[in-house]
C-alpha cells in the first residue's frame, strides 16, 4: 500500500455495554460487523492485529461522555486508558467529560490529565451543547477549556451532522468553535470532520483564521476531499488523517488510506497528513 506508517487519529473503540438501546440497535443492523466490533473492543491485542492487517501503525481511540443520546458515562475514560496500555506507542486514548453530567468537572480534568488522556473530545450534537456555551453561563465548559489549555491537552470538537437516533444537529455547526479559538488562544483544537457535509466553507474559514487549529479528516470520504476542500493543500501542515472507523460509510481503514493516496496531492503532503503531523503533535514514532 505505502511505506508511510499511517496514523489514524479518529477511530472508535468503546465500551459497548454502555450504549443506549437506539444507537445499539443501529450498530446491530449488521450482525457480523457487530460481532467483529465487540471482539475488537474486548481485546486490545485482537485490535492491534487488525490494525496490522489493515496497514495502520497507530490510532487515536475516541470516547466521549454522552449519557442522553449515546449512553456513555464518565467511566469511558478509565476504559480507554486501560485499553491503550497494551501499546502506548500505537494506541492514543481520547476521552471526555460532560459539563452538565460530570460531578466535579474541575477535579475530573485533573484526573483525566493524570490518567494520560491525550485528547479531550467534545461532541456537540451528542452532548447537546454548543461549543461556546461558556459565553452563556456554562462555567463547567469554561473550566474544561481552561484546564485543557493549561495541561496542553488538545480538544477535538465534532463538527457536522450526525444521524444517530436522538442526535441534535442544531449544535453541529462549526462556527461556534470560532469563539473557542479566540478565547483560548493557546488551546490546540482539532476540528473533526471539517463540518461535513453542510459547513465546509465555515471550516475552511476557521482553519485559515486560527493557526492552532487542525483539520481532522475523519468522516470525509477521501475521494471527495478535494471537492469539499479544493484548496486543501494550504493546510498540509495542519491536517490529520482519520477514518472514523467503524462509523457508517467506512467499510475499511485500508480502503480509506488507498483512496487518500490516489488523490492528486504532493508526496510531501501525503506523508505529512498520513503520519508526520500527528507524530509531531503527539510524540509518536
Ligand atoms: Zn467519530
Other CB atoms within a 10 A radius of the CB of residue 100 amount to 15
In sequence order, what are the beta bridge partners of 192? 158, 216
Q: Please tell me the predicted confidence (pLDDT) of residue 142.
A: 98
Nearest partner of 155 among 196, 191, 207, 204, judged by Cα:
191
C-alpha 27 – ligand 1 centre gap (Å) = 14
How far, in Å, are 146, 160, 177 from residue 191 at the CA level? Answer: 18, 10, 8
C-alpha 69 – ligand 1 centre gap (Å) = 14
Residue 100 lies in a domain: yes
DSSP 105-157: HHHHHHHHHHHT--EEEE-HHHHT--TTGGGGT-HHHHHHHHHHHHHT--EEE
Residue 2 lies in a domain: no
- Taking only the tens place, the pLDDT of each residue in 148-192 is 999 999 999 999 999 988 999 999 999 999 999 999 999 999 999
C-alpha 180 – ligand 1 centre gap (Å) = 20
C-alpha 218 – ligand 1 centre gap (Å) = 7
**Prior bond of 247 cis (ω within 30°):** no
* Cβ contacts of 282 within 8 Å, gap of 6 or more: 60, 92, 118
C-alpha 215 – ligand 1 centre gap (Å) = 13
- Taking only the tens place, the pLDDT of each residue in 104-141 is 999 999 999 999 999 999 999 999 999 999 999 999 99
For the chain, what percent of residues have pLDDT higher than 90?
93
C-alpha 127 – ligand 1 centre gap (Å) = 13
Q: Please tell me the predicted confidence (pLDDT) of residue 247.
A: 84
> How far apart are the C-alpha atoms of 97 and 26, rounded to whole Å?
24
Across 159-281, the runs of DSSP E, i.e. the strands, are 189-192, 213-216, 239-240
C-alpha 226 – ligand 1 centre gap (Å) = 21
C-alpha 234 – ligand 1 centre gap (Å) = 24
Helical axes 105-115 vs 76-84, angle rounded to 10°: 10
Other CB atoms within a 10 A radius of the CB of residue 1 amount to 10
C-alpha 247 – ligand 1 centre gap (Å) = 7
- Which pLDDT band holds residue 23 (cuts at 50, 70, 90)? confident
Burial string for 89-99 (b: 16+ CB within 10 Å, else e) reads ebbbbbbbbbb
> How far apart are the C-alpha atoms of 83 and 13, rounded to whole Å?
9
Residue 53 lies in a domain: yes
Residue 1 lies in a domain: no
**pLDDT (average), residues 87-113:** 98
pTM score, whole prediction: 0.97
**CATH of residue 55:** 3.20.20.140
C-alpha 11 – ligand 1 centre gap (Å) = 6
Q: Please tell me the predicted confidence (pLDDT) of residue 251.
A: 82
Number of domains comprising the chain: 1
C-alpha 244 – ligand 1 centre gap (Å) = 5
Residue 213 lies in a domain: yes
C-alpha 51 – ligand 1 centre gap (Å) = 17
Residue 276 lies in a domain: yes
Q: Please tell me the predicted confidence (pLDDT) of residue 209.
A: 98
Domain of residue 233: give its range. Answer: 7-282
C-alpha 276 – ligand 1 centre gap (Å) = 21
Helices (H), ranges, 131-241: 139-151, 177-183, 200-209, 225-228
In sequence order, what are the beta bridge partners of 121? 156
C-alpha 4 – ligand 1 centre gap (Å) = 23
C-alpha 121 – ligand 1 centre gap (Å) = 9
Contact yes or no for 126/164 (Cβ under 8 A): yes
**pLDDT (average), residues 204-231:** 97
Amino acid at each position: 500500500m505505502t511505506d508511510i506508517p499511517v496514523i489514524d487519529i479518529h477511530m472508535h473503540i468503546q465500551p459497548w455495554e454502555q450504549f443506549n438501546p437506539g444507537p445499539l440497535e443501529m450498530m446491530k443492523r449488521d450482525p457480523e460487523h457487530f460481532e467483529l466490533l465487540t471482539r475488537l473492543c474486548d481485546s486490545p491485542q485482537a485490535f492491534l492485529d487488525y490494525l496490522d492487517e489493515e496497514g495502520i501503525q497507530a490510532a487515536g481511540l475516541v470516547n466521549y461522555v454522552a449519557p442522553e443520546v449515546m449512553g456513555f458515562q464518565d467511566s469511558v475514560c478509565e476504559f480507554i486508558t486501560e485499553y491503550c496500555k497494551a501499546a502506548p506507542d500505537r494506541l492514543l486514548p481520547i476521552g471526555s467529560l460532560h459539563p452538565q453530567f460530570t460531578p466535579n468537572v474541575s477535579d475530573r480534568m485533573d484526573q483525566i490529565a493524570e490518567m494520560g488522556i491525550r485528547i479531550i473530545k467534545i461532541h456537540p450534537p451528542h452532548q447537546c451543547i454548543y461549543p461556546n456555551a461558556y459565553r452563556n453561563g456554562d462555567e463547567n465548559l469554561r473550566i474544561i477549556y481552561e484546564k485543557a489549555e493549561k495541561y496542553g491537552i488538545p480538544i477535538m470538537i465534532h463538527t457536522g451532522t450526525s444521524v444517530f437516533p436522538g442526535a441534535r444537529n442544531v449544535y453541529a455547526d462549526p462556527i461556534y468553535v470560532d469563539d473557542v479559538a479566540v478565547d483560548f488562544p493557546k488551546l490546540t483544537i482539532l476540528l473533526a470532520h471539517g463540518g461535513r457535509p453542510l459547513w465546509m466553507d465555515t471550516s475552511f474559514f476557521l482553519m485559515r483564521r486560527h493557526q492552532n487549529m487542525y483539520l481532522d479528516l475523519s468522516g470525509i470520504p477521501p475521494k471527495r476531499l478535494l471537492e469539499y476542500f479544493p484548496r486543501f493543500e494550504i493546510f498540509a501542515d495542519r491536517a490529520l488523517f482519520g477514518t472514523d472507523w467503524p462509523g457508517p460509510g467506512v467499510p475499511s481503514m485500508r480502503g480509506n488510506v488507498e483512496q487518500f493516496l490516489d488523490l492528486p496531492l504532493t508526496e510531501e503532503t501525503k506523508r505529512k497528513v498520513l503520519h508526520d503531523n500527528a507524530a509531531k503533535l503527539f510524540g509518536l514514532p
